[in-house]
Amino acid sequence: MKKQSLSGRRDLPGGLSIRPCRDSIADKKFVEQLIKDNRDDIRAADGDPDYLESIVDMQEQAMQTGYGNTFANAAHFIIEKLGVRVGRLLVESGGTEVRIVDLQFIPAVHDLGYGPTVIGTMQQAAAAQRVQLAITVLSNRPHLKQWLAMKGFVVEESEPHADRMIWKPTAADMGGKRVFMPS
């Protein structure tokens, strides 16, 4: 996946931070394992465990290649909690929107409010650029879709497997600083 030259780190509420994904073996292995660890849907299928694990490996490769081809100019970030890698964020920015292409966390930190913190930060970034924020939500994530709707996101496009949701900053969003905390 093509990397943009980014540097630095941004501290977020709750001890989280975001930094550019480095072209290092450690970051590459972390992202690979993160994607694989979040594919319990495949592992739950009825079948030979070795075969199912090979499907997980193929899905990880397909995801990395697909994102690399489709979102070649996306910025790739590692999310850390007190310096420990806990997730990744893939963001494409340009034109009239900022798009969250992928946001994943290691299973051990699911449901701890890190996603809302990162999405709130992305809303701030979109408001600062005076553009909308877009995210695609898979149909098997109804709670995420409901939470996003509570935060002002609306469905722009609906497909059988996913909805594209957008958030448009108001004049107040673009002029003032907001602090986002998980609710």
Q: Is residue 99 over pLDDT 80?
A: yes
The rounded distance, in Å, linking the Cα atoms of 107 and 145 is 19
111 pLDDT tier (thresholds 50, 70, 90): confident
- Residue identified by tokens 């009825």 is 46
Q: Interhelix angle for 114-129 vs 142-150, to 10°?
A: 50
Strands laid side by side in the 75-81 sheet: 10-11, 16-20, 75-81, 84-94, 97-105, 132-138, 162-167, 154-158
Classify strands 75-81 and 16-20 as parallel, antiparallel or unpaired: antiparallel
Residue 69 exposed, middle or buried by CB count within 10 Å (0-12, 13-18, 19+): exposed
The rounded distance, in Å, linking the Cα atoms of 104 and 114 is 10
Q: Is residue 87 over pLDDT 80?
A: yes
Q: State the pLDDT at residue 89.
A: 94
In 10 A of CB 153, how many CB atoms? 24
What's the mean pLDDT in 109-113?
Answer: 90
The one-character DSSP state at 21 is P
The three-point CA angle 67-71-73 to 5° equals: 130
CB 18 within 8 A of CB 118: yes
Q: Which domains does the chain have, with CATH numbers?
A: 10-175 (3.40.630.30)
In 10 A of CB 134, how many CB atoms? 21
What's the mean pLDDT in 56-65?
Answer: 60
Percent of the chain exceeding pLDDT 70 equals 73
176 pLDDT tier (thresholds 50, 70, 90): low
Q: Interhelix angle for 25-37 vs 49-70, to 10°?
A: 120
Percent of the chain exceeding pLDDT 90 equals 45
Q: State the pLDDT at residue 4.
A: 43
- Residue identified by tokens 């900022």 is 98
Q: State the pLDDT at residue 94.
A: 82
